[in-house]
A and B are shown apart, each in its own frame.
Chain A
Amino acid sequence: MASPSEYLDALIRELNKLPGIGSKSAARAAFHLLEMSDANVKQLLNTIIALKENVLECSLCGGISDTPVCSICTDPSRQQQTLCVIEDKKALITIEKTGTYKGIYHVLGGVISPLDGIGPDDIRFPQLVERCKSESIKEVIMATNPTIEGDATVLYSLKVLKPLGIRVMRLARGLPVGADIDFTDVATISKSLLERSEVL
């Protein structure tokens, strides 16, 4: 399997460690890098190094930021009373893309999962409670994934945050936009029926 170049093999091994990159994709990218001009390769390297050196974790929401507090948390046009709670930093970008959410965020960095040894104190849950106490938050939208552990996290938040007088919501579940009922599983359809909404 080894190629005539140890350097190439080493690069393939490194690229292979990235998510979604199998050995074939890694080899393809490695050969491409070999063909690229020195200037372009240097630019790529510098970009990666700059990313690692400059991107911080926002001290408020835990999302990515180039400054100690991120641009969303400091944006005065954002509604400070609504807080959207998400599992990881990437989910923030996904929700931002919709352009429909005008509140602020809180990144948990995981969900409660005793099987993996993760309790509420192992994720940014204490910080969430702290924010709910110290900031003017009225509504928390739990946007964790609809898994068993995601649901457990929602229930736990409800238990802790509701006594603080905070309205705890979670994302609606049901048919994806553009879906076909015939190809949707029974669980999703029954959720859609339960959480049906009035046509306005």
Chain B
Amino acid sequence: MHLKKLTVKNFRNYYNNTFEFCNSYNFITGANGTGKSNILEAVSVLSNIKSFRNASDRAMIKQYESYYYINGVVAEDTFENVFEAAFQNKDKIKKKYKINNSKVDRLIDYYGKFITVNLSPTDTDLIIGEPEKKRRYIDSVISKIDKEYFKKICEYKRILNNRNTILKSGIVHLKNIQVWNELLAEKSSYIIKKREKFLNDILDLFANNYQKISNENDSVSIKYRPSVTGETTADILNQIENNQQRDKRYKTTTLGPHRDSYSIKYRGVDCSLYASNGQLRSLSIALKLAEKNIVEENLNKKAVILIDDIFSELDRLRRHNLIRLMKNQNQVLFTVPTVEDLSISDLADSTILNLDK
């Protein structure tokens, strides 16, 4: 699939603008503060419901305005779909999504229809960042390809909140907490299995992509670090129950998928210790491209790739490799200050959108 046309109203610095994109490489250029990344952000909101910069909907509305509106025409094989996202912050807060002019009531029916993968400066958080960011990332990717997972995660959070409320109250009746232990164990077992499988599936793709970008043969690996382990729901329940005294002391649930993480090793050592900025950048790109591979394979569609200003940390060889890796594969939207910075020789059939004028 590829994005043909994007219209934004009252979004960030845009009042009412329409941009057209070609099917291969699109370079959005301009000086700092001209709104290059804002275009990618609008695309990411349209595709993923959320901003990749983690901005709130309110923050994305143009100053002094009360709503934003995004419209994208997405071409797929022989047909076109129109996606619309709108947020209103006047009287009542309202968020609305439409596909081909019909309103989508449940986000689950919208998420994963227009697929994008975005590469941005904050991606290194997925390599060495806090576990929470890592978890949110794998949950968002698995949810894209597995709707059931999305539901289970929501249910899990609800059970967890209920259990934590009991723990917080300080009055913990054995039978009462047991109920929530069992519900928690059942969902945990499902979530852990799915995460395990996902990280296993992504492992080879990740290592492979890293080699293609860096031309290195160094080993890289990604490993799931669940906070509870066990083949069966009963095993997990056992651990949750054994941990109950601790939970009571801390007044919160200290074990479970909400405490999981994964670790990435480079040459057999944890990356947070030794990797350079450039290496972290390459690793994060390899991970995002592995996400692209797996999402495309599962949904049987090509993703649109959004690349936000990540070239500064890459050497010439790696830039070259990255650009070659996606050539003739996907539509790519890049933000760069000037095209000359890229030192790419072959710019044929690319579109350049200069915001400086």
A-to-B contact residues, CB < 8 Å: 112-115, 117, 119-120, 148-149, 151-152, 155-156, 159-160, 186-187
Contact = CB atoms under 8 A, between A and B. Distances in A.
B165 A159 contact: no
Contact of B155 (A114, A120, A148, A155): A148
A113 B173 CA distance: 14
Interface residues of B, number: 20
A148 to B, nearest CB: 5
A65 B104 CA distance: 43
A157 to B, nearest CB: 9
B162 interface: yes
Contacts, number: 43
B183 interface: yes
B227 to A, nearest CB: 21
A148 B165 CA distance: 15
Given A159-B175, A186-B147, A186-B148, A152 B180 contact: yes
A117 B161 CA distance: 12
B275 interface: no
Interface of B: 147-148, 151, 155, 158-159, 161-163, 165-166, 169, 173, 175-176, 178-180, 182-183
Given A156-B175, A186-B147, A187-B151, A115 B183 contact: no
A108 B263 CA distance: 48
Contact of A155 (B148, B163, B173, B179): B179
A113 B179 CA distance: 11
A163 to B, nearest CB: 10
Contact of B178 (A113, A149, A159): A159
Contact of B165 (A114, A160, A186, A187): A114
Contacts of A120: 176
Contacts of A115: 158, 161-162, 165
Contacts of A152: 162, 179-180, 183
18 contacts: A112-B179, A114-B162, A117-B165, A119-B173, A119-B176, A148-B155, A148-B159, A148-B162, A149-B162, A152-B180, A152-B183, A155-B183, A156-B175, A156-B176, A159-B175, A159-B179, A160-B175, A186-B148
A120 B161 CA distance: 17
Nearest to B146: A186
Contacts of B162: 113-115, 148-149, 152
Contacts of B169: 114
A116 to B, nearest CB: 9
Nearest to A117: B165
A146 B50 CA distance: 30
A164 to B, nearest CB: 13
A119 B182 CA distance: 17
A119 B166 CA distance: 9
A148 B169 CA distance: 20
Nearest to A158: B179
Nearest to B155: A148
A180 to B, nearest CB: 18
Contacts of B151: 187
A120 B180 CA distance: 13
